[in-house]
């Protein structure tokens, strides 16, 4: 791992504690708001130990990405199983999708924003396998939509499902990760209003 020296067993435990602490801090703060001292304090590790093992905060990000990747895979599999859409109307599905995805991003805003920015600048942080697995996770979301649309008699459900997935994720990324810059800055809505309006847009499109 770039920026992290090779580890012995005890040192690996120390590294794991630092990664876990950093991951926990990122749930409430952005990357630039977190100091090395905060990470080491939460991990109960000396600052000097951090610098003997790790070059800087950025060196921890590949490991943080791996933890997030696993978390998202578990969440996607849990929320978008084949039974997720059964019994729901198109309108109910529209509102459920937006609400669930919005809550996921909101509850992990610091982590996702940090990794979103870092992976744009350093695409090598994401392996080809992880990229494919992420695409598969998005396909799970699309399949839920496509299944319901097909059941409801819609033509070309896969194309609509693909667009709905892109629309929801793009809008939520802008709203949740970058609320203080345009275009989100010009959106004068509460969270509840935003999710309601986005749900209505999705419902109108797929209906």
Tell me: the pLDDT tens digits for 105-116?
999 999 999 999
Triad 41, 73, 160: Cα angle to 5°: 135
- The rounded distance, in Å, linking the Cα atoms of 126 and 74 is 18
- Mapped onto helix, strand or coil, the DSSP state of residue 15 is helix
φ, ψ dihedrals at 183, nearest 5°: -85, -10
Let me know: does 163 contact 206? Beta carbons within 8 Å. no
On the question of pLDDT at 178 being above 90, the answer is yes
- Mapped onto helix, strand or coil, the DSSP state of residue 4 is strand
On the question of pLDDT at 155 being above 80, the answer is no
44-54 confidence digits (pLDDT tens): 999 999 998 89
Let me know: does 108 contact 27? Beta carbons within 8 Å. yes
Structure tokens at 161: 């499902």
pTM (2 decimals)? 0.84
Alpha helices, H only, 36-156: 36-43, 47-53, 61-79, 90-107, 109-121, 128-151
What integer is the mean pLDDT of 118-128?
83
On the question of pLDDT at 8 being above 70, the answer is no
On the question of pLDDT at 2 being above 60, the answer is no
Q: Tell me which H or E stretch contains 172.
A: helix 157-172
Q: Tell me which H or E stretch contains 206.
A: helix 191-206
Structure tokens at 175: 């709203």
Structure tokens at 69: 């990747």
- The rounded distance, in Å, linking the Cα atoms of 10 and 7 is 8
On the question of pLDDT at 139 being above 70, the answer is yes
What integer is the mean pLDDT of 11-24?
92
What integer is the mean pLDDT of 25-37?
93
- The rounded distance, in Å, linking the Cα atoms of 169 and 173 is 6
| All domains in the chain, ordered by first residue | 9-55 (1.10.10.60), 60-206 (1.10.357.10)
Shortest CA distance to 45 belongs to which of 10, 71, 79, 70? 10
Shortest CA distance to 144 belongs to which of 202, 55, 100, 79? 79
């Amino acid at each position: 791992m770039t920026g992290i020296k090779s580890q012995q067993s005890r040192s690996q435990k120390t590294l794991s504690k630092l990664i876990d602490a950093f991951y926990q801090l990122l749930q409430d703060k952005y990357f630039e708001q977190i100091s090395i001292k905060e990470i080491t304090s939460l991990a109960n590790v000396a600052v000097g130990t951090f610098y003997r093992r790790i070059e800087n905060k950025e060196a921890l990000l590949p490991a943080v990405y791996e933890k997030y990747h696993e978390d998202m895979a578990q969440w996607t599999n849990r929320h978008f199983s084949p039974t997720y859409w059964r019994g729901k109307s198109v309108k109910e599905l529209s509102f459920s999708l937006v609400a669930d995805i919005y809550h996921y991003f909101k509850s992990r805003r610091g982590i996702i924003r940090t990794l979103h920015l870092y992976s744009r600048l350093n695409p090598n942080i994401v392996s080809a396998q992880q990229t494919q697995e992420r695409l598969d996770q998005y396909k799970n979301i699309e399949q839920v939509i496509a299944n319901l649309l097909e059941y409801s008699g819609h033509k070309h459900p896969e194309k609509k499902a693909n667009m709905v997935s892109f629309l929801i994720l793009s809008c939520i990324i802008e709203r949740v990760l970058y609320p203080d810059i345009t275009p989100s800055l010009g959106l004068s809505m509460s969270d509840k209003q935003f999710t309601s309006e986005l749900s209505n847009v999705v419902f109108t499109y797929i209906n």
